[in-house]
């Protein structure tokens, strides 16, 4: 008579379909489920070219161990990738960091620019103001320019820059190449010159929901009335 732990060993080694077949056999033949499962696995061993049930259990135990190792390696890889993404989303606190956003309402229309500059010593500079009229690309560039000018004034260097405009981020990161965003050439030249002053060579794109402070400041600027702006 098979012991409970022996049945657990068989049940662990059995595939789902084999366990279902064993339950059906037990019902049909009025056998204990353990005995039915033993018969089903013995048949599977012979069909697989294995000498006996013990050989089948050994093969499946090894396969299960290999599968667990692969799963563990996959989980470790996912955890590492998640940690890397989290680190990228969290700029280091020991460097100057800046976020920018520009809005045009309508497009083209009134421009509002917003930017946030944070320093390693706890410095925090917010920019929120109207910047005339233009399109969204000009608005983003004007916000970035204002951020860089503030960084120069604050003595920032090795600055990490973040924005949610792929047009501006890609245009700036293309550097001095002739192919760039049409109509924004002067803005790009101004930005590149300012980036040299703060020892920064690249912008980093972030989705809008991770650029909340700069977006809030740009929208706040748009909502200002002319009288508030003059004050």
CB < 8 Å & 24+ apart, contacts of 58-63: 60/13, 61/13
pLDDT in tens, 128-150: 999 999 999 999 999 999 999 99
Q: Tell me, what's the pLDDT at 94?
A: 81
> What is the spatial distance between Cα 82 and Cα 175, in angstroms, rounded to a whole number?
31
* Mean pLDDT along residues 32-56: 89
Using the predicted structure, report yes or no on whether residue 87 has a pLDDT greater than 70: no
How many CB atoms neighbour CB 227 within 10 A?
7
Q: Tell me, what's the pLDDT at 230?
A: 45
HSE-up (13 A, CA, CB side) for residue 150? 24
Q: How far is CA 98 from the centre of its chain?
A: 20
* Mean pLDDT along residues 21-40: 92
pLDDT in tens, 146-203: 999 999 999 999 899 999 999 999 999 987 665 667 889 999 999 999 999 999 989 9
All residues at 6 or more sequence positions from 102 whose CB lies less than 8 Å from its CB, including other chains: 111, 112, 113, 114, 131, 136, 138, 139, 140, 141, 142, 143, 144, 165, 218
Domains in the chain, ordered, with CATH? 4-89 (no CATH), 97-230 (3.30.420.10)
Using the predicted structure, report yes or no on whether residue 91 has a pLDDT greater than 50: yes
């Amino acid at each position: 008579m098979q012991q409970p732990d022996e049945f657990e060993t068989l049940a662990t080694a059995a595939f789902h379909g084999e366990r279902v077949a064993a339950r059906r056999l037990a019902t049909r033949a009025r056998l204990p489920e353990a005995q039915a499962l033993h018969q089903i696995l013995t048949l599977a061993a012979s069909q697989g070219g294995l000498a006996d049930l013990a050989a089948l259990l050994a093969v499946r135990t090894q396969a299960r161990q290999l599968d667990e190792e692969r799963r563990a390696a996959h989980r470790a890889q996912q955890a590492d990738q998640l940690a890397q993404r989290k680190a990228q989303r969290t700029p280091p606190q020991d460097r100057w960091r800046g976020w920018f956003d520009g809005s045009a309402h309508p497009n083209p229309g009134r421009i509002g620019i917003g930017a946030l500059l944070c320093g390693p010593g706890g410095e925090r500079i917010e920019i929120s103001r109207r910047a005339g009229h233009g399109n969204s690309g000009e608005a983003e560039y004007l916000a970035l320019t204002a951020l860089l000018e503030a960084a120069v004034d604050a003595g920032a260097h090795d600055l990490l820059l973040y924005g949610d405009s792929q047009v501006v981020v890609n245009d700036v990161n293309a550097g001095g190449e002739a192919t760039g965003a049409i109509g924004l050439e002067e803005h790009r030249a101004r930005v590149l010159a300012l980036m040299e002053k703060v020892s920064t060579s690249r912008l980093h794109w972030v989705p809008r929901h991770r650029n909340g402070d700069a977006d809030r400041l740009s929208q706040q600027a748009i909502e200002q009335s002319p009288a508030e702006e003059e004050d």
